[in-house]
């Protein structure tokens, strides 16, 4: 069973390969250009959605231990959250490029 991450990595390796036709090359170039412009937006958005409520909670009347524990948890998960945004970008925009290949 394929997962979204496997499909993401497969398609990204596919666009790095030599295109067999001019149309395929155009699809790969369009995808790479679109990805470069928009992929960071999704990653940063997911991180922002998680970090913004934490920043607000810093001003709430909670214990220092709670604030440190949640801050540490968010810090350790930031890379995974950013990756989740990258996969979200691919889940939304990837299929239209894959359909063009078929």
pTM across the whole model = 0.69
Q: What is the pLDDT confidence band of residue 76, given thresholds at 50, 70 and 90?
A: very high
For 83-99, what is the mean pLDDT?
84
Asked if pLDDT for residue 72 goes beyond 90, the answer is yes
Parse the chain into domains and list their residue ranges.
Answer: 21-101
Query: According to the model, what pLDDT value does residue 1 have?
Result: 47
Q: What is the pLDDT confidence band of residue 2, given thresholds at 50, 70 and 90?
A: low
- For residue 44, the Cα-to-chain-centroid distance in whole angstroms is 8
All residues at 6 or more sequence positions from 98 whose CB lies less than 8 Å from its CB, including other chains: 11
Q: Any idea of the CA torsion for 73, 78, 84, 88, to the nearest 10 degrees?
A: 120
């Amino acid at each position: 069973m394929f997962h979204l991450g496997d499909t993401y990595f497969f398609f990204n390796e596919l666009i790095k390969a030599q295109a067999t036709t001019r149309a395929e090359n155009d699809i790969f170039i369009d995808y790479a250009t679109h990805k470069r412009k928009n992929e960071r937006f999704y990653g940063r958005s997911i991180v922002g959605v998680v970090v913004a409520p934490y920043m607000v909670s810093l001003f709430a009347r909670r214990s220092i231990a709670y604030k440190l524990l949640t801050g540490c948890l968010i810090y350790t998960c930031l890379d995974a959250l950013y990756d989740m945004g990258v996969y979200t970008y691919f889940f939304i925009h990837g299929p239209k490029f894959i359909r063009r290949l078929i």
